[in-house]
Amino acid sequence: MNAFEQLIGESPEFLSVLRSAEIVAATDVTVLIEGDTGTGKELLAQAIHDSSNRSSKPFVTINCAALPEALVESELFGHKKGAFTGAVSDQAGYIKQAEGGTLFLDEIGELSLAVQAKLLRFIEYGECQCVGDSRTQKIDVRLVAATNRDISEQVSKGLFREDLYYRLKIVPLELPALKHRHKDIQLIAGYFISSLSQRHDLAKPKLTSSALKQLQNYSWPGNVRELRNLCERLVVLLPGQEITEYNLPADIVQKENTSLAILKLPSQGLNLELLETDLLKQALGLSRGNKSRAARLLGISRDAFLYRLKKYSI
Ligand SMILES: Nc1ncnc2c1ncn2[C@@H]1O[C@H](COP(=O)(O)OP(=O)(O)OP(=O)(O)O)[C@@H](O)[C@H]1O
Ligand SMILES: [Mg+2]
């Protein structure tokens, strides 16, 4: 199976990222994957490794945000016995552990400027210097980094080295947020509902079109991870059943009568009758004169719509 096949999606923005990833996977180019939380950065990093010619060698993940600042350097590059208090023996770093394979530096935006400088030297020359050792060692590792921060903003604030940023970002791989992948929501929900029903050995529930519409209108701040978790909850709680919008959590379902920011009342007030006339005309225009459809666009019955047309002599 192609390692990229487990990344589900067919929207053009997503497919173009996958195509670039497949191309870089065949090379040793350092890769920076950008994207909001839950968009699949780790899954993509693993797929790049699995389809590279390093796939039989280790894929080592290091979460830069979870490393204590004082230990980052020694965790990455290793240390010699006695290099600092507590260094009771020689210790290989993550880079050494990933030798021949891929080192995945997750949340790279969290690295201090001092460690960024050492990482840059490693990328440029493949040279790794253990803490407490004056010698450098050549280690063959392919680096894949990921971040959900806007690194260019970090660069402009002086928190991330510009030279390292451009060194990492040779081929930009930016995973789009789920809210920009409307076409993929049905596909991904269907995929998770099927695979998770199988995994839990439960009958597959069925998404109705009203529920799907709500999923497509939602903003998905947690992206694919949030959709996956929702699907798991539905599979477990409603096996074999029809899922309607009423089965969805309240924060996903859009309230019909919430205030619309686009219709914010100007401070100098407005003419309500003129506004209503205008909206009636716009609805007629959008529906090309179809009065039932125009009424639906305004959320009122056809009779109520006809009554208003008469009232304003439209
Ligand atoms: N395109 C996709 N197809 C199938 N599953 C996906 C896809 N994208 C993400 N997932 C799933 O969503 C979950 C989150 O993905 P992943 O951990 O790769 O996200 P991330 O971008 O690294 O998030 P974070 O920034 O929070 O670390 C995982 O369960 C992953 O398998
Ligand atoms: Mg991640």
Taking only the tens place, the pLDDT of each residue in 141-167 is: 999 999 998 899 999 999 999 999 999
Cβ–ligand 1 distance for 109 under 6 Å, the answer no
- The tokens for 188 are 């991904």
Choosing from 39, 195, 220 the residue with most ligand 1 atoms within 8 A of its CB, the one to mutate for a pocket test is 39
Element (H, E) at 12: helix 12-25
Which amino acid is it at 97? Q
Backbone angles phi and psi of 188, in degrees to 5 = -70, -40
| Beta-carbon count within 10 A of 90 CB | 14
Q: Contact 185/215 with Cβ under 8 angstroms? A: yes
Give the start-end residues of each E strand in the chain. 31-34, 59-63, 102-106, 127-128, 137-138, 142-147, 172-174, 206-207, 242-243
Determine the distance separating the centroid of ligand 2 and the alpha carbon of 265, expressed in angstroms. 42
Q: Contact 11/124 with Cβ under 8 angstroms? A: no
**Cα–Cα distance measured from residue 66 to residue 57, given in angstroms and rounded to the nearest whole number:** 24
**pTM above 0.85?**
no
**Cα–Cα distance measured from residue 95 to residue 60, given in angstroms and rounded to the nearest whole number:** 8
Residues 6+ apart with CB under 8 A from 216: 182, 185, 186
- The tokens for 136 are 């450098």
**Cα–Cα distance measured from residue 221 to residue 242, given in angstroms and rounded to the nearest whole number:** 25
Cβ–ligand 1 distance for 224 under 6 Å, the answer yes
Which amino acid is it at 115? V
Residue-range domains of the chain with CATH: 3-176 (3.40.50.300), 182-247 (1.10.8.60), 268-311 (1.10.10.60)
Residues 6+ apart with CB under 8 A from 41: 33, 34, 35, 106, 146, 148, 175
- The tokens for 74 are 């020694």
Cβ–ligand 1 distance for 297 under 6 Å, the answer no
Q: Contact 45/86 with Cβ under 8 angstroms? A: no
Of 214, 220, 225, 216, which is closest to residue 187 (Cα–Cα)? 216
Tell me the pLDDT tens digit for each residue of 244-301.
999 999 889 876 545 555 677 888 888 888 899 999 999 999 888 889 889 888 888 8
Residue 179, helix vs strand vs coil:
helix
Instruction: Give the position, in ligand 1's atom list, of the atom nearest the Cα of 227.
Output: 12
Of 263, 206, 270, 210, which is closest to residue 238 (Cα–Cα)? 206
Tens-of-pLDDT digits for all 314 residues of the chain?
788 999 999 999 999 999 999 999 999 999 999 999 999 999 999 999 999 999 999 999 999 988 877 788 888 999 888 878 888 888 889 999 999 999 999 999 999 898 898 889 889 888 888 888 888 889 999 999 999 988 999 999 999 999 999 999 988 899 999 999 988 999 999 999 999 999 999 999 999 999 999 999 999 999 999 999 999 999 999 999 999 999 999 889 876 545 555 677 888 888 888 899 999 999 999 888 889 889 888 888 888 999 999 999 98
Alpha carbon nearest to ligand 1 atom 26, residue: 37
Determine the distance separating the centroid of ligand 2 and the alpha carbon of 44, expressed in angstroms. 10
